Every structure is written in structure tokens, then in C-alpha cells.
Chains A and B, each alone.
Chain A
């Protein structure tokens, strides 16, 4: 679990150039972390590579916060 949070956090920090302290579960990519729509798409693409997942367009549209990502990965990654 902790591992997932750490890996997600690293990707978010690298991709969006934010401080690691800002990457909290409730942080919204667009509202709090300064991402635009295309940044979120790219973030999802990178998470797919990192966790070897395929996130459908429908599921990807529901991802708005850091917590959403962690929950998605925990419930879809065996």
C-alpha cells in the first residue's frame, strides 16, 4: 500500500513539478496541483506504464484527485 502511494507521488511530482508535500490524497490535480486536462491524460498514461494497467477512458474520467488514483490502483492491481 505504502509502496503504491510512494510510486504515485513520485510520478505526480515529476510530471507536474509540484512539491511532494502538496501531493495529499485529497489534492485535486486540476484545482490544487495546477494540471490541465492534457496533463491528467498524460498522468494516466504514465500510471498505466508504471503499474502495467490499462485504465479505460470511462475510469480515467473519474480520476480527479491523488486519492482516486491510489484507490483505483489498489482495487485493480493484484
Chain B
């Protein structure tokens, strides 16, 4: 399905990013596994991909830093000779009630989760425009659509990603580059593991399919959006949330 294609997945050392990197590789793509700090975890993902008989590299970069991002994209293109798929997945949380939220909590989350998407998209656009093809897939969140108490920073960033997705889709459409967002609901990862049991119970009640999603649920949609069969879909945000938001 993705044979001969090359991909960069940000924040791919664990959680949803890891599952996406593995699924893209399983479908034939060469994958660059970006990480910010977890070098050992990223290398494990790379080794797992190489064990499948596919090419992979680990690339360190802080997505919120433009020089770091430019260096990462340059290295991936040097290594693979092209860049067909960008998955903007890197994200952090610093939850707090709005009234208690510190400015640095706001800034850190906006920098990584929103500015990071802008910087990575800008850095790969040049290559994709030259290639006259490309797929950009942004991982937003269902809370960017619905809002969520305690996550003003995260929600603002994830809603921002949806707007950025639509604008980028319009700007790059004439160059055969599609840009879509995936909005995961309540997915079983380290990020949601830390949530209070009461909060989890309440959230489950709000999910018509009455279960948590898995990282593979997200990875399979990303793989579809990265492939040729999704070529007429752009600017969309697709919820993968067990029906939580309709």
C-alpha cells in the first residue's frame, strides 16, 4: 500500500506516534522516527521496523524549535531521498484549571502542539511542492472539537491544529498535497493512563461504543490517509472516538 514511500512521524517513540510509525512501516513505507528526549525508546521502534525488513532511522528534534526542525527534515531527505508523508503527532499535556494555569504551562503546550505542527509543515512543504505530491496528517484531538475542563492549553492547541489543517490544505492543494487531521478520542496510552479513575469512568459513560480506543485504531486511519486511496480527501478532521462526539 505504501511501498516506496517515505514518512516522518514526530513524537514516534511511544503511544500513538509509535503505533503510527510501525503501521506505516508494515505497509511498506520507510520511516523516520522523531523523538525529543526518549532516545532509547525511539531506537526500539527503529529496531522493530528493521526487524520487519523495512528501513527506519531515529531523528532527534524539538518540534517547537525551528532550527532543530529544519535540521531534522534535511537529514530525513538526505537519508531517504524524498519525503512523501509527514505525521505531526508530537504532543504534550500540562493540565490545570484555567484559573490556576501558569503562563509557562500555556506556552509549553502551545509551542509543542501547535507551533510544532506549523514548523514541521513549513519545513516539509518545500520538498513536497517540488515532488508535486505529499500527505500531511495532523494528530489533533476530540477535545479540540468539544472542549475539556482542565485542558485550556491543550484544547486551544488542538483546535488550532484543525484550523491550520484547513488552511494548509487550501494552500497546497494545487500541488497535489493533501492535509487532514485525525482527532482521537479516549485512547489507551501513557498520556491517558495517569487520569483519575473517576474521570475515566465518566468518560467511558460518554462513549457510545463503551470502550477505550487503541493506538492501532488511530494508526490504521493515518495509514489510509497516507496512501493513494485517500487522494480525494483533504482539509478534513476525522474523529476516531467510539462515537463520543457526533
> Using a Cβ–Cβ cut-off of 8 Å, how many residues does chain B contribute to the interface with A?
6
Question: Does A50 sit at the interface, judged by CB under 8 A?
Answer: no
Give chain A nearest CB distance to B53 CB in angstroms. Answer: 35
Q: What are the residues of chain A within 8 A of B129 when measuring CB–CB?
A: 38, 41-42, 45
Binary contact track B124-147/A, C-beta < 8 Å → 1, others 0: 001001100000000000000000
Give chain B nearest CB distance to A49 CB in angstroms. Answer: 9
Instruction: Report Cα–Cα, A38/B130, bound state, in Å.
Output: 12
Q: Is the CB of B174 within 8 A of A38?
A: yes
Q: Return the contact of B171 from the options A38, A42, A45 (Cβ within 8 A).
A: A38
**Secondary structure call for the A interface:** helix
Q: Is the CB of A38 within 8 A of B175?
A: yes
Q: What are the residues of chain B within 8 A of A42 when measuring CB–CB?
A: 129-130
Interface residues, chain A, CB within 8 Å of chain B?
38, 41-42, 45
- Minimal Cβ-Cβ distance residue in B for A46: B130
Give chain B nearest CB distance to A18 CB in angstroms. Answer: 18
* 10 pairs, CB–CB < 8 Å, chain A vs chain B: A38-B129, A38-B171, A38-B174, A38-B175, A41-B129, A42-B129, A42-B130, A45-B126, A45-B129, A45-B130
Give chain B nearest CB distance to A35 CB in angstroms. Answer: 12
Instruction: Report Cα–Cα, A38/B174, bound state, in Å.
Output: 9
Going nearest first, the 9 A-B pairs with the smallest beta carbon separation are A42-B129, A45-B126, A38-B174, A45-B130, A38-B171, A38-B175, A45-B129, A38-B129, A41-B129
Instruction: Report Cα–Cα, A25/B171, bound state, in Å.
Output: 29
Interface residues, chain B, CB within 8 Å of chain A?
126, 129-130, 171, 174-175
Q: Given A38-B171, A45-B130, 8 other A-B contacts at CB below 8 A?
A: A38-B129, A38-B174, A38-B175, A41-B129, A42-B129, A42-B130, A45-B126, A45-B129
Q: What are the residues of chain B within 8 A of A38 when measuring CB–CB?
A: 129, 171, 174-175
Q: What are the residues of chain A within 8 A of B174 when measuring CB–CB?
A: 38
Instruction: Report Cα–Cα, A30/B174, bound state, in Å.
Output: 17
Instruction: Report Cα–Cα, A45/B130, bound state, in Å.
Output: 9
Give chain B nearest CB distance to A4 CB in angstroms. Answer: 22
Instruction: Report Cα–Cα, A66/B129, bound state, in Å.
Output: 22
- Minimal Cβ-Cβ distance residue in A for B175: A38
Instruction: Report Cα–Cα, A42/B174, bound state, in Å.
Output: 12
- Minimal Cβ-Cβ distance residue in B for A41: B129
Instruction: Report Cα–Cα, A42/B175, bound state, in Å.
Output: 10
Q: What are the residues of chain A within 8 A of B175 when measuring CB–CB?
A: 38
Q: What are the residues of chain B within 8 A of A41 when measuring CB–CB?
A: 129
Instruction: Report Cα–Cα, A56/B175, bound state, in Å.
Output: 22
Give chain A nearest CB distance to B77 CB in angstroms. Answer: 14
Instruction: Report Cα–Cα, A42/B131, bound state, in Å.
Output: 11
Give chain A nearest CB distance to B146 CB in angstroms. Answer: 34
Q: What are the residues of chain A within 8 A of B130 when measuring CB–CB?
A: 42, 45
- Minimal Cβ-Cβ distance residue in A for B172: A38
- Minimal Cβ-Cβ distance residue in A for B125: A41
Instruction: Report Cα–Cα, A38/B126, bound state, in Å.
Output: 11
Instruction: Report Cα–Cα, A17/B46, bound state, in Å.
Output: 44
Instruction: Report Cα–Cα, A41/B129, bound state, in Å.
Output: 10
